[in-house]
Amino acid sequence: MPILIALLATIGPIGIDMYLPSIPAMAASLGSNEGAIQLSLMTFFVGLMLGQLMYGPLSDKFGRKPLIYLGLSIYILGSIGCTFAQSVEQLQYIRFVQGLGGSIGMVIAFAIIKDQFQGPAMGKMMSMVLAILGLSPVAAPLIGDGLQALGSWRNIFIFLAVYAAIVLAAVAVLLPETRQVELRQQFKLTQTIKLYGQIITDRKFIIYALTLCIAQAGFFAYIAGSASVFISEYQLSSTQFSLLFALNAFGLIGAAILNPKIHEKFGPLNAYKIMNISFLLIMAVLILALCLGYSNLAIFCITLFIAVALLGFIMPTGSQLALMFQHKNAGTASALLGALQFGFGAIITTLTGTFSSFDGLGLVTIMFACALISALLCLITFPKQLPMSQH
């Protein structure tokens, strides 16, 4: 089950990571610029955002498996559509459809875990799934680069369609329906809209959620803009970029593994503040270096590696703090948080595409702005300490 759930959860992330090394080649193939190709990542994020809000409540009402079938079918159609896109505008529209389908994996995977497991068993299953999921940003760009080397970037989207079809077949055969009939009958869809309103106006949710979303927007800017910077500006090959991206992903994974120990030492609130301020400082160092003319590849790689690793601490801790006080509405709050994260991702990837002509300085400026705002929010809005029962 953990492998099947993890395969389901990776549907969305591999749709982000797999085509990154191909952004310059896609721009050349479609007669466009790299910023316009990056905007297809924005439309994918918009699809992920709306899907997060829809699939959770609908699966509570109608069951997990029907929504998996619906979401994966939309994703397969979107992937096939991307394969045949003849213009960047077509690609942008079809990527929205693909994102709308792809969001099903993340929403339903964790809902299934909550249906099936309790207490330590749920924590163990979550950890196993996240460990497998953590390999996605390492493997996906390398696989995507290999598929492109076989002839065309279009192979990537053929692979995504086939992968989703295999997961769909595996779910149909191997996965039982985990949402109980009684719970489906009791659930009212109209409650969801009211709950979304209550949660988003809850200060104990929104201050942590906003800080997380803005800091994570810096991560999405890195995802959207890094291929253009390293391949077009620093003249790395798509394979070299994929290996560099994988190395940074290992930094992200390592930070996530160390995160519990940092919490033990400082507590989640103080750890979150420290990591946000550290993220701001490392981005300040990088933007200063670029402004002073020290734009060599080594400085860029080292500072970005540290920044991405720091985000490996920030993102899980921010999610934990935002959901810490939402005991009764954890599922709805989680869906809302996911939608906000991808909503901010859509905004920031639009900016990244717009500023793509400024090369590395444009990307770093956006990441620095995200780091500055999130650090200021930490210092201004956060309480000095959490209630003892929440540590």
Task: For residues 212-231, give the mean pLDDT.
Answer: 90
Residues 208, 341: Cα–Cα separation, whole Å: 12
Q: Which of 180, 201, 222 is the last residue of a domain?
A: 180
Is 5 within the bounds of a domain? yes
- Do 195 and 176 lie in one domain? The reply is no
Q: Which of 145, 180, 215 is the last residue of a domain?
A: 180
- Do 20 and 165 lie in one domain? The reply is yes
- Check which CATH number belongs to the domain holding 317 and give it: 1.20.1250.20
DSSP letters spanning 104-128:
HHHHHHHHHHHHH--HHHHHHHHHH
Is 390 within the bounds of a domain? no
Is 388 within the bounds of a domain? no
pTM, two decimals, is 0.86
DSSP letters spanning 24-49:
HHHHHHTT--HHHHHHHHHHHHHHHH
Task: For residues 355-369, give the mean pLDDT.
Answer: 83
- Do 239 and 277 lie in one domain? The reply is yes
The alpha carbon of residue 262 and the mean position of all alpha carbons in its chain are separated, in whole angstroms, by 23
Dihedral sign, Cα of residue 80, residue 81, residue 87, residue 89 = negative
Is 389 within the bounds of a domain? no
Between the alpha carbon of residue 262 and those of residues 27, 214, 283, 358, the distances in Å are 42, 22, 21, 37
Is 163 within the bounds of a domain? yes
- Do 165 and 220 lie in one domain? The reply is no
Q: Mean pLDDT lowest for which of 99-113, 159-173, 300-314?
A: 99-113
Is 4 within the bounds of a domain? yes
Q: Tell me what pLDDT residue 327 has.
A: 66
- Do 158 and 216 lie in one domain? The reply is no
Is 368 within the bounds of a domain? yes
**Which tens digits make up the pLDDT trace of 35-72?**
889 899 999 999 999 998 888 888 878 888 999 999 99
Q: Tell me what pLDDT residue 321 has.
A: 86
Nearest-5° Cα angle at 131, 51 to 99: 20
- Do 142 and 200 lie in one domain? The reply is no
Split into its structural domains, the chain has a count of 2
- Do 281 and 216 lie in one domain? The reply is yes
Between the alpha carbon of residue 22 and those of residues 128, 162, 342, the distances in Å are 30, 19, 22
**Which tens digits make up the pLDDT trace of 100-133?**
999 998 878 877 877 787 766 766 776 677 767 7
Element (H, E) at 361: helix 359-381
Can you give the residue range of the structural domain that contains 97?
Answer: 1-180
Q: Which of 160, 180, 200 is the last residue of a domain?
A: 180
Task: For residues 257-280, give the mean pLDDT.
Answer: 89
- Do 204 and 173 lie in one domain? The reply is no
Name the percent of the chain lying above pLDDT 70. Answer: 94
- Do 163 and 202 lie in one domain? The reply is no
